[in-house]
Amino acid sequence: MSMIWSGDRSVDAATLARRILQAAAGLEVIGIGPGDSVALFLRNDFAFMEASVAPGLIGAYPVASNWHGNIDEAGYVFVNSGAKVVVIHADLYVAVGEAIPEEVDVLVVPTPPEIRDAYGIADHLCAVPDGMTDWNIWVDSFSPRTGPALEAPGTIIYTSGTTGRPKGVRRAPPTRDQAQTLQTLFMRGFGFAPYMDDPTQVVVGITGPMYHSAPNAFGLLGAKLGVNVVLQPRFDAEDLLRLIQERGITHLHMVPIMFSRLLRLPDEIKAGYDLSSLKFVVHAAAPCPALVKRAMIEWWGPIIHEYYGSTETNMVVCCDSAQWLAHPGTVGRVIPEADVKIIDAAGRELAAREIGEVVCKLRAIADFTYHGDDQKRRDAEKAGLIAPGDIGYLDEEGFLYLCDRAKDMIISGGVNIYPAEIEAELYKMPGVADCGVFGIPDEEYGEAVCAAVQLADDALIDENGVRTWLRQRMAGYKVPKIVEFHDLLPREDSGKIFKRKLRDVHWAGVGRAI
């Protein structure tokens, strides 16, 4: 029987399945039904998996919420999603509980020891506050639901909000064929398909927060298929190596910043763990510097896979290590189930290697809208497909390359500048640990280039050194006018950098939109 582990705790698949049925029965008793929303303000925990699956059995939507949000940000999601129930970890309730509308039922999950230790949470904040309903006790008070399961509509995932307020991606309930097609696609894309004769031989490691769409699908599908699941409470590079060795992890879903942190470990630590159990490692969510990806393939072998997509479109291209090495920089080749085009500003399809906006769609998937904002859904559709907001091109073989986010593109003196190109060169500079490039206001050119740089601990680099490095590698108009140094750059757990937080300081009071 498959197991789910979190720290020193474990639960078998049968127990988890029973608790999901108990939770579904409890939600029905308090009035949750088809089309309703249940918000999850939880870190990776057994309760996250229980509260993610149970609503779907009665036709309701689980709403996976970014628990990093402050009171204002959390309150926006609670209200915008129309949640009738909030399931929340105890320490997070202390932080944002005031943002939960009075009419909403609140179920509090005791914060477990491994999460307490990973985040340095005080013991007294981990207990369910007096007078609040304990999720575990509440679930145990119900008998398992015995009625037929309704067609699960899927999870509402709120986009990261790196450029503004997050948007809740809400899909129509899928038909059985749509659900099966999507499951088959994920099984292939996540590397599960070859092991379904005996799913228990698969051990999935969840390194990223399950409020993000990719770790959410990766972990929940794995549990549904009967594989073993290891929940890492918070990503730590050496701790991941330990978990791979101790739990025999075979499959991982990662983001490039995790690769970078793994590669920065001392050689003796990297060599000190047995990673031979690994069979399939897939990454997405953010661009991966070519040097980083090549180094990971050299270290872990040709088991590194990549895909591109979005919460709105799901995966539409993918590639294995051999394909990437033959097409360095690609994020993958268009899969048979998807349509991907590059279009210009007028919506015309561009030829191979012409740069434009990426539009794409997975054909056999239930349609979506942005919860409470159908107009934004209409705005996202271009040329009959969905625009995730990326600039890129296709080569003659159907491999997709990304140049940058459309909103991140800098227009300086009428010339398009792609920050990702500058960032790629900065990542090659010795002593640069992290970076982000963005546009700032300029009276003469409209926008100028600014680079935010995080140095390695022992690096001695100044603004002139950064400019000199870049000037030797690219055209002068791409060299940043301003170079800022930060102790730590703001990044989402998905690996996406919060450029909005870096950019807003420069654009405040300018009187025009970014």
Residue 164 has pLDDT above 70, yes or no: no
User: What tokens appear for 55 in the block?
Assistant: 């609503």
Q: What DSSP line would sit under 442-498, residue for residue?
A: ETTTEEEEEEEEEE-TT----HHHHHHHHHTTS-GGGS-SEEEE-SS--B-TTS-B-
Burial class (CB in 10 A: 0-12, 13-18, 19+), 378: exposed
Cα radius of gyration (the chain): 23
Cβ 493 vs Cβ 208: under 8 Å: yes
pTM of the predicted protein model: 0.86
User: What tokens appear for 322 in the block?
Assistant: 């051999």
Query: Average per-residue pLDDT in the chain?
Result: 92
DSSP 324: H
Of the candidates 381, 391, 378, the one whose C-alpha atom is nearest the C-alpha of residue 350 is 391
Q: Which CATH code is given to the segment(s) 3-172?
A: 3.40.50.980
* 237-247 and 256-263 helices, crossing angle to 10°: 90
What pLDDT is attached to residue 161? 54
Q: Which CATH code is given to the segment(s) 184-406?
A: 3.40.50.12780
Percent of the chain at pLDDT exceeding 90: 74
Cβ 447 vs Cβ 414: under 8 Å: no
Rounded Cα distance, 366 and 363, in Å: 9
User: What tokens appear for 319 in the block?
Assistant: 């590639």
Say whether 409-507 and 184-406 share the same fold: no
CB atoms within 10 A of CB 327: 17
Instruction: Tell me which H or E stretch contains 300.
Output: helix 290-300
Residue 418 has pLDDT above 90, yes or no: no
What pLDDT is attached to residue 512? 46
Write out pLDDT tens, residues 363-388: 888 899 998 888 989 989 999 999 99
Cβ 252 vs Cβ 271: under 8 Å: no
Residue 260 has pLDDT above 90, yes or no: no
What pLDDT is attached to residue 513? 44
Rounded Cα distance, 186 and 206, in Å: 15
Instruction: Tell me which H or E stretch contains 19.
Output: helix 13-29
At residue 407 the predicted structure's pLDDT band, cuts being 50, 70 and 90, is confident
Is residue 410 classed as helix, strand or coil in its secondary structure?
A: strand
Rounded Cα distance, 126 and 74, in Å: 19
Rounded Cα distance, 225 and 219, in Å: 10
Of the candidates 307, 292, 252, the one whose C-alpha atom is nearest the C-alpha of residue 275 is 252
Work out the average pLDDT over 275-279: 98
At residue 160 the predicted structure's pLDDT band, cuts being 50, 70 and 90, is low
Percent of the chain at pLDDT exceeding 70: 98
DSSP 173: P
Work out the average pLDDT over 247-251: 98
CB atoms within 10 A of CB 280: 21
Domain range 409-507, CATH architecture:
2-Layer Sandwich (3.30)
Q: What DSSP line would sit under 357-398, residue for residue?
A: EEEEEESSS--EEETT-HHHHHHHEETTEE--SEEEEE-TTS
User: What tokens appear for 118 in the block?
Assistant: 């990973």
Rounded Cα distance, 368 and 319, in Å: 26
Could you list the beta-strand ranges (E) of 65-217. Answer: 83-89, 105-109, 133-134, 156-158, 168-171, 203-206
Residue 514 has pLDDT above 70, yes or no: no
What pLDDT is attached to residue 78? 95
Type of residue found at 103: E
Q: What backbone torsions phi and psi does residue 56 show, to the nearest 5 degrees?
A: -60, -30
Name the residue with tokens 């591109």: 308
What pLDDT is attached to residue 416? 82
Q: Where are the domains of the chain?
A: 3-172, 184-406, 409-507
User: What tokens appear for 328 in the block?
Assistant: 């360095």
Work out the average pLDDT over 135-139: 98
User: What tokens appear for 262 in the block?
Assistant: 């793994």
SS3 annotation, 45-66: CHHHHHHHHHHHHCCCEEEECC
DSSP 152: P
